[in-house]
Structure 1
Amino acid sequence: MKYLIATMVFIFSCSTFSAAKWDEAGCGRIEAGVGQLIGASESMRGLSEAAGKDGDSEGEEELRKMQMLYLEQAENWSSIYSAFCK
């Protein structure tokens, strides 16, 4: 039982220390990265709309997939930011 409690305390203290350390060094980079991903997603949206107007349904679909990928990555990094930087 003591071993289990000691292990849990050790893991918790390591994760807390890592979060505090990450907060100092990486939060600005995460913010910038999320901004870039959102910007790239907006670019893909514009390109897919243009491809749709030109009648290129295959290109439109591919660009929509890329847009969704960028939005998904931005969401993931935003979750990390909110967990470790706030």
Structure 2
Amino acid sequence: MKAVDPVEFINHIRELLELEDSVEINLDSKHSDIEEWDSLVVLSFMAMVKEEYGVEIGGEDVRKATTLRHFYELISHKPLVNIEKK
């Protein structure tokens, strides 16, 4: 299990979504309420999670999650995978 900083996690999502500073999100934000969240973002999110946190999440994980906190907790508790950094 890897310790995940919640502020860092939210910042990664902000960068991924290219959110303006005026857009507020936090761990309790529902991803379905975030206008920029779409199927392409989901794929990018899954890749970012693997690269940044060494954790693989699948489609079923995404379907079950309703808030960013669900993703945060999932990432915090999933076993690490072996990844190669280029």
Fold conserved (TM > 0.5)? Answer: no
TM-score, length basis structure 1: 0.26
Give the greater-gyration-radius structure (CA).
1
TM-score, length basis structure 2: 0.26
Higher relative contact order (CA 8 A, sep 6+): 2
